[in-house]
Amino acid sequence: MKKLMLPVVLILSFMLCQGQRTRCKDPSEEHLRQKLYRILPESAFLINTEHIPDEKMKKCPKIVNTSSELIQDRSISPWSYRISEDMNRYPREIVEAYCLCKGCVTSKESRMVSEPFYRDVPVLYKSSKCKKSRYIYKLRYIKVAQFCICRFH
């Protein structure tokens, strides 16, 4: 009987300790937004939110669309937008550009390639650490494609 009691007591005390441990929660959206603004000046926090992502992925056009109002359609290196989502990052959704073509639309030059132009963007990433029962978020910079350009390969 004594041999059975020790494992039962150990299991029960482990379960009680687990129940007392505070679980870590995500801070509010407002808290994360304010933290990012406190760390950086407002001008540094320029993530494209005015661009509308495609519902379907676009394809490379055969010619430049000169009648479009959108600069990304009129470019010889056309691009569109999609959402990059990461649940461990704030902001969780970031709109990023993607190139529609491998080469450049008006160029017959095979050495011309279309490639994204990146900008470092400040974001907050969730750490595994907890403070006052809230996850701690750390500042990082990630490269986000802003538009596409043509260049010689």
Binning pLDDT at 50, 70 and 90, where does residue 15 land? Answer: very low
Query: Is pTM, for the whole model, over 0.75?
Result: no
What pLDDT does residue 53 have?
A: 72
| Res 44: pLDDT | 53
């000169």: which residue's tokens? 66
- Rounded to an integer, the average pLDDT of 12-35 is 71
Helix and strand totals (H; E) in the chain: 3, 5
pLDDT tens readout for residues 24-53 = 999 999 999 888 888 776 545 555 556 677
Ranges 12-21, 128-137, 138-147: which has the least confidence = 12-21
**Helices marked H in the chain:** 2-20, 29-39, 71-74
Confidence of residue 125 (pLDDT cuts 50, 70, 90): very high
State the CB neighbour count (10 A cutoff) for residue 148: 23
Q: In order of start, what are the domains of the chain with their CATH numbers? A: 24-152 (2.10.90.10)
Report whether 88 contacts 132 (CB < 8 A). no
The answer, yes or no, to whether residue 153 has pLDDT greater than 90, is no
pLDDT range class, residue 54, cuts 50, 70, 90? confident
pLDDT one-digit tens code per residue, 70-122: 899 999 999 999 999 999 999 999 999 999 999 998 766 678 899 999 999 99
Q: How many residues does the chain have?
A: 153
Instruction: Give the CA angle between residues 138, 42, 89 to the nearest 5°.
Output: 30
